[in-house]
Structure formats: structure tokens, C-alpha cells
Amino acid sequence: MADRAGTPAPIVVTMGEPAGIGGELTLQAWLRRDAERLPTFFVLDDPARLARLAQSLGMAVPVAEIAAPANASEAFAASLPVLPLGHAIAAAPGKPDAADAPHVLGAIERAVGFCRGGDTAAMVTNPINKKALYEAGFKHPGHTEYLAALCGGSNRPVMLLAAEGIRVVPVTVHVPLRRVAEDLTSDLIVETAAITADALRRDFGVDKPRLAVAGLNPHAGENGALGHEETDVIGPAVDVLRGRGISLSGPMPADTLFHAAARRAYDAAICMYHDQALIPLKTIDFDGGVNITLGLPIVRTSPDHGTAFDIAGTGRANPASLIAAIKRAAEIAANRSAFERAA
């Protein structure tokens, strides 16, 4: 994707929770820009805050204040481009401040605007502290739902987690385990899997996506002996999806779905609940996982970890997931552009 002048559009990285590790991860990502072959990116943040943080951590990261996304490419080689939020940040590392909540949300809103206007190719969101946002009146369950509201459209946003050799999609996400069986419906599974198959073609360059659908119960219900969700809810959804021409297998026992040989047989696993998806991914690649939002008109990725207040400001945070998120964002944006040109 290119901007209006024909220059490759940069990636925009949002500040996230300023008391967390997002700032130091962004500094480290810029330091590794050449070794990791990162695309041009800039940050929506407080330049003075990042300069102070770099100095306190002993990181040689010059900060360059830019006025617009188009200025990022000329600054990126020699300095970290930062587009100011227009407000000073109050939080110190590990000590969130409620006064920063509007600026955290403002960075997300501006990033969405840049993506929708074609000024940026994609957005990467640093982790937020939902508790602080809730206390400031935030009405959405999390990042994903907020992005969907900002973007509009009819598609429900779907969370895909990716690492090397594995992609997983939870059908139900942030709900208590005892509610999963109540919330799980055939329509929800069909919608989630269909959005995933479309995204695999459009955003990941998979011509003929293969999906594996996990069961909910042990042994995928053991023919009804251990639960009826597989026969009453998941199985009918699988039939509908096959009727739409989507290649998939299941419902399959989740305990045999994620070893290396099994993963070679599918392009993404459709899981019934949060931990069924995230435990295998984080076990396989804890530091390199990336959260990707499907079903949006823009490209959005995020590191697959939280704010880590306990180590914020120490320089000990691992930037691997943020680096992977920036790379994935650029790859998806390029794949999506190629798909749309071909279509």
C-alpha cells in the first residue's frame, strides 16, 4: 500500500498504556529495525516521554517529532519518528494514571483514521490497561470491539492469534468458562469460520484454506457420552460450512489437534474458547505470538501479551512479539493489496 504521493505507506504504532512496557518495546524495535528488516513505522505518543524513557534505559534512540505520517520515511533511518498526541503523559513506568486514558484512546482513534484515509498501511496497537480505561468510562470489552465500533461495517471482528507454524481462532473469547457452552451457537461458529477462511485468502495468501474445528468436550464428546455440543451445535455448523465450499475437518478432539504433524494438516484451528486457542499458541511460541483482528476494513495487529507493569521501565521486556506484529502488519497489508488488485 502506498500513500497519495506513491511512497510506501508506513505502519502506525499506538502508544498503548504508557505505564506499561509498550514504550520500551517500541524503542527496542526501532533499534533492531535493520537486523529484523522492519518496514518504516512511526509512533503516536508523547515524544518527550519516549526520549526520557530511552535515556533512563540507556538506549541510543534519537526521537524525531513528525507532523504527518508522510514524514516518517525520511526520519526513520536515523531516528524514531513520533507523531505527538498533543498532551504530556502523566504516568511513570509501572504506575498508571487515569488522566492518560483519553490520550490512550485518542491514539487508537487517530491510528484508525490514518488507516482508513490511506495515510498508513496498517496499525499495530501496544497493550492497553482495560481497568484504567473502564474507570475513565470506556464502554467496550477491549481493543477489538473498540476498533470495530470505530470502523463501522457489518462484520463481527474475529481474533486470530498467529505464531510460526500455528494459527488459532477462538469462537468465544473473554467469557467465563462456565458460560462457553451457553454462548456457543452454530451460527456463531459458522460466522467465525467463514470470516477466518476469507481472511486466509485475502490477508495471508492461502488460495484454498483448510480449517480444523475443535470439539468443546474431552474426546470431542465421545459420541455424546461426554457432552452433546459436538452433535447438537458444532457438527451442524461444520455441515453448513462444507455446504459453502469451505474445506474443514472436525469436530476434532482438542488434545490431539496441536502437535506438529496435526498442524501441518490445516491452515487455522477454530477453537471453542479462549484458552483452548491460546494455551497451545503460547506454549509453542510464547514471545512471538501476534494478535490479528479479522473482519475489519483496516489491518490491525498487536503483540500477544499485556502491559507487564511489574517489569515496566527496567528494559527487561522482550520486543519479539511487537517486532512480529509490525512484520505481520506489513505482510497482511501487502497481501490484501495484491488480492484486491487481482480481484
CATH of 165-284, one of 3.30.365.10, 3.30.360.10, 3.40.50.1370, 3.40.718.10: 3.40.718.10
Residues 87-114 have pLDDT tens digits of 899 889 999 888 998 999 999 999 999 9
Distance CA 136, CA 109 (A): 16
Task: End-to-end CA distance of the chain: give it in Å, rounded.
Answer: 16
Q: What is the largest CA-CA distance in the chain?
A: 64
| Fold assignment, 1-154+287-343 | Isopropylmalate Dehydrogenase (3.40.718)
Q: What share of the chain in percent tops pLDDT 70?
A: 97
Q: Where residue 139 falls among pLDDT bands split at 50, 70, 90?
A: confident
User: Phi-psi region for residue 95, left (φ > 0), alpha (ψ -120 to 50) or beta?
Assistant: beta
Residues 21-31 have pLDDT tens digits of 999 999 999 99
Q: Are 147 and 293 in contact (CB under 8 A)?
A: yes
Q: Where are the domains of the chain?
A: 1-154+287-343, 165-284
Residues 169-196 have pLDDT tens digits of 999 998 899 999 999 999 999 999 999 9
Check for a shared fold between 1-154+287-343 and 165-284.
yes
What kind and span of H or E run contains 113?
Answer: helix 101-116
Helix, strand or coil, per DSSP, at residue 122: strand
**In angstroms, how far is CA 171 from the centroid of its own chain?**
16
Asked whether the predicted pLDDT for residue 80 surpasses 90, the reply is yes
Q: What is the mean pLDDT of residues 259-284?
A: 96
What kind and span of H or E run contains 270?
Answer: strand 268-271
